[in-house]
Amino acid sequence: MTELMVTVLIIVALAAIAFPVGRSVLGKSRSAACLSNLRQIGTGLEGYLQDHNQMMPDWVAGRKTKAEEVPVLETELASYLPNPEVFHCPADHEQFERSGCSYIWNTSQNGRHRSKLEFFGKSGNDQRIPLVIDKEDWHGGDPGVNFLYADLSASSKVQFGVNR
């Protein structure tokens, strides 16, 4: 009986150690899949820009429900991307179902030429201007969101600054 209790206690202790590690690995996996989605969205955006003389689209940031008929990322880039699941961050368990997208468009770039982007005083060829961002901080840590930047790179790091 004592051996059984020791075995059970060892299993419980190992489970207590493994559970947080497993959650951390799962979270990192979801964040990596989200970054992959953003890179694919960047590829679709590149196609859009080539078709529209390098002019950024004029879209709203996002919609509250799929029923809203407004120009948004997921509807306007749909023809440039093969799978609508690219707009679903694996860590998002609500927004995608309700609105059709886990990401928002940075409307401050609407209608700008690709070479004339500006964000909080940064302008010109600074390609670290965020274009697409997670709707919420699903990934934990700081900042907890992923970004697609103007150079079409995706990162979980804040890589833009502001001029004062």
Give me the number of domains the chain comprises.
1
User: The tokens of 159 are what?
Assistant: 């890589």
What amino acid is encoded at 69 in this protein? E
| Bridge partners (DSSP) listed for residue 98 | none
For 111-141, write each residue's pLDDT tens digit.
Answer: 999 988 988 777 655 578 999 999 998 887 7
pLDDT in tens, 135-157: 998 887 767 899 999 999 998 88
9-62 residue pLDDT tens: 677 665 666 556 455 545 566 688 899 999 999 999 999 999 999 999 999 999
User: How do the residues of the chain divide into helix, strand and coil, expressed in percent and rounded to 5?
Assistant: 45, 10, 45
Answer whether residue 10 is part of any domain.
Answer: yes
CA distance 56 to 112: 5
Q: Does residue 31 form part of some domain?
A: yes
In a domain, 122, yes or no: yes
Q: Is residue 164 part of a domain?
A: no
Contact 102, 88 (CB under 8 A): yes
Residue 161 lies in a domain: no
- Structural domain for 75, as ranges: 1-155
Does residue 24 lie in a domain region? yes
> Considering the entire predicted model, what is its pTM?
0.79
Does a structural domain hold residue 48?
Answer: yes
| Residue 102 is assigned to a structural domain of this protein | yes
